[in-house]
Amino acid sequence: MEFKEIKSIIEENAPQGKVTGIDVEGPKVVIYTDDIGFFIDNNKEVRNLAMLLRKRIIMRSNPAQLLDPENAKKIIGQIIPPEANITDIRFDPVFEEVYIEAEKLGLVIGRYGATSDEITKKTGWTPKLVRKSPIESDTIRTVRKTLYENSDDRQKILKAVGKKIYRKPAAECDWIRVTPLGGAQEVGRSAFLLQTPESNVLIDCGINAAASGAGRYPDFRAAKLAMDQLDAVIISHAHLDHCGFLPYLFKYGYNGPVYCTEPTRDLMTLLQLDAVEIGTRENNELPFSPKDIREVVMHTIPLEYGEVADITPDMRLTLYNAGHILGSSMVHLHIGEGLHNLVYTGDLKFGDTRLLEAANSDFPRAETMIIESTYGGRYDIQPHRRESETELMNTIKETVKNKGKVLIPVFSVGRSQEVMMVLENFCRRKELEVPVYLDGMIWEATAIHTHYPEHLKRYVKHRVFNGQNPFLAEAFENVKGRNRMEIIESKDPCVILATSGMMTGGPSVEYFKQLAADKNNSLVFVGYQAEGSLGRRLQNGLKTIPVDDNGRTKTINVEMAVKTIEGFSGHADRRQLLGYAKKIHPKPKRALVVHGEAKNAISLASTFYEMFQIESSAPRNLDTIRLM
Ligand SMILES: [Zn+2]
Ligand SMILES: [Zn+2]
């Protein structure tokens, strides 16, 4: 839909004389009015316009009618009951929003948004409600500050994006094709270029942390695409194999939007900043800097699950829960006004975890599915969760009995919180009574989880809301830098959760070097270990490792027990992937199997065909597949 069409629909259908201006900010339509009270009392008018346009609408007062912040603050203080415990109020005149941070958000919102509406009616400002989290997150504070302090620039970006989305299309959509630039027949550097005659959209933009050289980044050179030809980037979730290369695009001239959920924006900022820091420290520099990460934040347009957004003249995007990590999404794209529908699963979990609900499997339409296959191999069947939890607890008990230490390398985002939930459960039952140290970015990632309890599993959400936040259990202790040696040298047994999850660097490797030579210690893998990573080599029985000792190389013998406990993965195993293909509704006609080692992807693709008669293949990187 072109902007002029949007305008004429509003002008023809809005009540006479009530609309004074129309604009677009990203996919959203902004309507200005002299009478905001009218639209609040008659909200069916707004709903009607939204339905005709099939777009989200933001209603705003004319700036002249905004109450000055000082008086508005007084009125807000009178409207919101003191029990809400307001901790901060800030005004953003550009977007006419007032950020209200409070401990008890329910009281701020009021019944059916009544309190919120009253604030807008009396002050002109639109409240943005922010929950005061029990654990502060530096990342979220920085992200919000960046957006708040640069709202002028932010609005300019959104307006430019909106103009581009609602441009006059130059070509009719008569073909659709997709090209993996990375992440096909491999795990890492996921990037899928989706093209029509009108649009170029990139889904995910990852790095392969375990690879060096050419295999580390997606192959943009082969795509022959100038950065300014790219319309939009969609990020499925915050793991670096899906978003680690995104800042690079901004460094080299990309200036468009990034779509993802709000938790993904915050988590990926944390992980990208961390990756830059580790890269610099370990002489494996990434080709971008924190400045480029800031650009990502400024250009990110967060979407809620189920929210439909136009992203180009011929593509409409909706995100759905993928069950993999906080904020993880499946990407649904409706292309060319009914021509074709694509579901990209990203990384998915179609089963029980302690942290998140299982992946969504219901879509309005779906002709092509691009699905992951990390554990898609013929023998990739994970044990049931309960068995895995018992096995983990037995391993810990055994090690503790021998006065040893248990090292669990984990991704800071996802597996950490999942394993924390498991350990917290054992702590409550008094089965686990040694300290659990968290090292690396785990605590900060956990803080981000507590900011978005509504994204967590119902049971966890309730506990967080009722002051029984499982992440705040007594056993957990956040390790800050120099305490690491104290923990290693202490004679007391303990559990250590440390990043990185595949031992490609970071504290998990530091602990390992110190703990490896003692047979009473245990190393437990609970997550995926990529080919080439130290973790994978240890899983495969590596017995000695060279370490740097004051400039000299010495060899450490690996005496500690090395164990892999399957079943904690955030990925669906083969059974769940087949279950997903069976359950997904409507049934796609075609499946492209990606994000798995070649043999796994190929095996899963052929089974899809045998079992469900879905035309399936496991494309290689740079294979272009025509969808239409
Ligand atoms: Zn992932
Ligand atoms: Zn992944």
- The DSSP annotation for 151-213 comes to HHHHHHHHHHHHHHHTSPPSS-----EEEEEE-SSSSS--EEEEE-SS-EEEE-----TT--G
Query: How far does the centroid of ligand 1 lie from the alpha carbon of residue 239, in Å?
Result: 5
Query: How far does the centroid of ligand 1 lie from the alpha carbon of residue 106, in Å?
Result: 32
Asked if residue 22 is part of any domain, the answer here is yes
**CATH code, domain carrying 121:** 3.30.300.20
- What is the arithmetic mean of pLDDT over 244-261? 97
Burial of 149 per CB tally in 10 Å (0-12, 13-18, 19+)? exposed
Query: How far does the centroid of ligand 1 lie from the alpha carbon of residue 17, in Å?
Result: 50
Give the model's confidence band at 628: pLDDT under 50 very low, under 70 low, under 90 confident, else very high. Answer: very high
Same domain assignment for residues 328 and 450 = no
Asked if residue 99 is part of any domain, the answer here is yes
Same domain assignment for residues 405 and 524 = yes
Reply yes or no on whether the pLDDT at 378 is more than 80. yes
pLDDT of residue 482: 67
Query: How far does the centroid of ligand 1 lie from the alpha carbon of residue 347, in Å?
Result: 5
Please report which ligand is nearest the Cα atom of 204. Answer: 2
Token pair for residue 532?
A: 């080439």
Collapse the DSSP code of 384 into the 3-class scheme (helix H, G, I; strand E, B; otherwise coil) and give the result.
coil
Query: How far does the centroid of ligand 2 lie from the alpha carbon of residue 214, in Å?
Result: 19
Domain containing 614: what range? 174-378+571-626
Q: Ligand 1 being an ion, which residues bring their Cβ within 5 A of it? A: 239, 347
Same domain assignment for residues 426 and 497 = yes
Query: How far does the centroid of ligand 1 lie from the alpha carbon of residue 237, in Å?
Result: 7
Query: How far does the centroid of ligand 1 lie from the alpha carbon of residue 385, in Å?
Result: 19
Alpha helices, H only, 201-359:
220-223, 240-243, 246-251, 262-281, 290-299
Same domain assignment for residues 211 and 94 = no
Amino acid in position 473: A
Q: How far is CA 376 from CA 183, 575, 576, 618, in A?
A: 14, 8, 9, 11
Same domain assignment for residues 230 and 281 = yes
Asked if residue 252 is part of any domain, the answer here is yes
- Residue 293: strand pairing partners: none
Query: How far does the centroid of ligand 1 lie from the alpha carbon of residue 244, in Å?
Result: 11
Query: How far does the centroid of ligand 1 lie from the alpha carbon of residue 328, in Å?
Result: 8
Reply yes or no on whether the pLDDT at 572 is more than 70. yes
pLDDT of residue 211: 86
Please report which ligand is nearest the Cα atom of 190. Answer: 2
Same domain assignment for residues 398 and 356 = no
Quick: pLDDT tens for 19-55. Answer: 999 999 999 999 999 999 999 999 999 999 999 999 9
Alpha helices, H only, 504-597:
507-515, 534-539, 574-583
Q: Kindly provide the b/e burial profile for residues 542-551, where b requires at least 16 CB atoms within 10 angstroms of the residue's own CB.
A: eeebeeeeee
Query: How far does the centroid of ligand 1 lie from the alpha carbon of residue 104, in Å?
Result: 32
Please report which ligand is nearest the Cα atom of 595. Answer: 2
What CA–CA distance (Å, rounded) separates 119 from 110?
A: 11
Please report which ligand is nearest the Cα atom of 414. Answer: 1
Same domain assignment for residues 588 and 556 = no
Quick: pLDDT tens for 156-189. Answer: 999 999 999 999 999 999 999 999 999 999 999 9
Query: How far does the centroid of ligand 2 lie from the alpha carbon of residue 242, in Å?
Result: 6
Asked if residue 335 is part of any domain, the answer here is yes
- What is the arithmetic mean of pLDDT over 262-272? 97
Give the model's confidence band at 551: pLDDT under 50 very low, under 70 low, under 90 confident, else very high. Answer: confident
Give the model's confidence band at 506: pLDDT under 50 very low, under 70 low, under 90 confident, else very high. Answer: confident
Phi–psi pair at 211, nearest 5 degrees: -100, 160
Query: How far does the centroid of ligand 1 lie from the alpha carbon of residue 240, in Å?
Result: 8
Please report which ligand is nearest the Cα atom of 415. Answer: 1
Reply yes or no on whether the pLDDT at 590 is more than 70. yes
Give the model's confidence band at 112: pLDDT under 50 very low, under 70 low, under 90 confident, else very high. Answer: low
Same domain assignment for residues 335 and 296 = yes
Q: Which residue has the higher pLDDT, 214 or 397?
A: 397
- What is the arithmetic mean of pLDDT over 63-70? 94
pLDDT of residue 599: 97
Nearest of 47, 68, 58, 63 to residue 25 by alpha carbon:
58
Lowest mean pLDDT among 4-18, 107-121, 526-540: 107-121
Give the model's confidence band at 579: pLDDT under 50 very low, under 70 low, under 90 confident, else very high. Answer: very high
Burial of 232 per CB tally in 10 Å (0-12, 13-18, 19+)? buried
Which of 510, 538, 564 is a domain's end point? 564
Please report which ligand is nearest the Cα atom of 349. Answer: 1
Query: How far does the centroid of ligand 1 lie from the alpha carbon of residue 526, in Å?
Result: 14
pLDDT of residue 420: 97
Q: How far is CA 312 from CA 9, 104, 340, 532, in A?
A: 19, 39, 15, 39
Query: How far does the centroid of ligand 1 lie from the alpha carbon of residue 324, in Å?
Result: 7
Token pair for residue 560?
A: 């500690």
Q: How many angstroms from the chain centroid is the CA of residue 284?
A: 25
Query: How far does the centroid of ligand 1 lie from the alpha carbon of residue 571, in Å?
Result: 8
pLDDT of residue 13: 96
Query: How far does the centroid of ligand 2 lie from the alpha carbon of residue 188, in Å?
Result: 6
Same domain assignment for residues 216 and 255 = yes
Angle of CA points 470, 273, 526, to nearest 5°: 45
Q: What percent of the chain has pLDDT over 70?
A: 99
Asked if residue 331 is part of any domain, the answer here is yes
Please report which ligand is nearest the Cα atom of 372. Answer: 2
Give the model's confidence band at 514: pLDDT under 50 very low, under 70 low, under 90 confident, else very high. Answer: very high
Please report which ligand is nearest the Cα atom of 237. Answer: 1
Same domain assignment for residues 417 and 555 = yes
Query: How far does the centroid of ligand 1 lie from the alpha carbon of residue 386, in Å?
Result: 22
DSSP for residue 403? T
Token pair for residue 93?
A: 């005149």
Query: How far does the centroid of ligand 2 lie from the alpha carbon of residue 544, in Å?
Result: 29
pLDDT of residue 318: 98
Reply yes or no on whether the pLDDT at 118 is more than 90. yes
The count of domains in the chain is: 4
Quick: pLDDT tens for 447-457. Answer: 999 999 999 99
pLDDT of residue 165: 98
Same domain assignment for residues 558 and 592 = no
Non-local (6+) Cβ contacts of 489 within 8 A are none
Query: How far does the centroid of ligand 2 lie from the alpha carbon of residue 183, in Å?
Result: 8
Reply yes or no on whether the pLDDT at 312 is more than 70. yes
Give the model's confidence band at 107: pLDDT under 50 very low, under 70 low, under 90 confident, else very high. Answer: low
Please report which ligand is nearest the Cα atom of 238. Answer: 1
Query: How far does the centroid of ligand 1 lie from the alpha carbon of residue 348, in Å?
Result: 8
Which of 64, 88, 103 is a domain's end point? 64
Q: Between 3-13 and 43-53, two packed helices, what is the crossing angle to 10 degrees?
A: 140
Query: How far does the centroid of ligand 2 lie from the alpha carbon of residue 241, in Å?
Result: 5
Please report which ligand is nearest the Cα atom of 373. Answer: 2
Q: DSSP of 562-587, one letter per residue?
A: EEE-TT--SS--HHHHHHHHHH-BSP
Which stretch of DSSP H or E encloses residue 43?
helix 43-53
Asked if residue 615 is part of any domain, the answer here is yes
Query: How far does the centroid of ligand 1 lie from the alpha carbon of residue 82, in Å?
Result: 42
**CATH code, domain carrying 456:** 3.40.50.10890
Query: How far does the centroid of ligand 2 lie from the alpha carbon of residue 328, in Å?
Result: 10
Please report which ligand is nearest the Cα atom of 570. Answer: 1
Is the torsion defined by CA of 109, 72, 44, 167 positive or negative?
Answer: negative
Please report which ligand is nearest the Cα atom of 189. Answer: 2
Reply yes or no on whether the pLDDT at 108 is more than 80. no
**CATH code, domain carrying 31:** 3.30.300.230
Please report which ligand is nearest the Cα atom of 328. Answer: 1
Asked if residue 167 is part of any domain, the answer here is no
Nearest of 340, 288, 280, 345 to residue 314 by alpha carbon:
340
Q: How does the average pLDDT of the chain come out, rounded?
A: 94
Asked if residue 144 is part of any domain, the answer here is no
Lowest mean pLDDT among 135-144, 196-205, 210-219, 244-253: 210-219
Query: How far does the centroid of ligand 2 lie from the alpha carbon of residue 441, in Å?
Result: 19
Reply yes or no on whether the pLDDT at 391 is more than 70. yes
Reply yes or no on whether the pLDDT at 282 is more than 90. no
Please report which ligand is nearest the Cα atom of 324. Answer: 1
Please report which ligand is nearest the Cα atom of 241. Answer: 2
Same domain assignment for residues 75 and 125 = yes
- What is the arithmetic mean of pLDDT over 356-371? 97
Return left, alpha or beta for 183; rule: phi > 0 is left, psi -120 to 50 is alpha, else beta. Answer: left
pLDDT of residue 546: 86
Q: How many angstroms from the chain centroid is the CA of residue 503?
A: 22
- What is the arithmetic mean of pLDDT over 75-87? 89
Query: How far does the centroid of ligand 1 lie from the alpha carbon of residue 241, in Å?
Result: 7
pLDDT of residue 167: 97
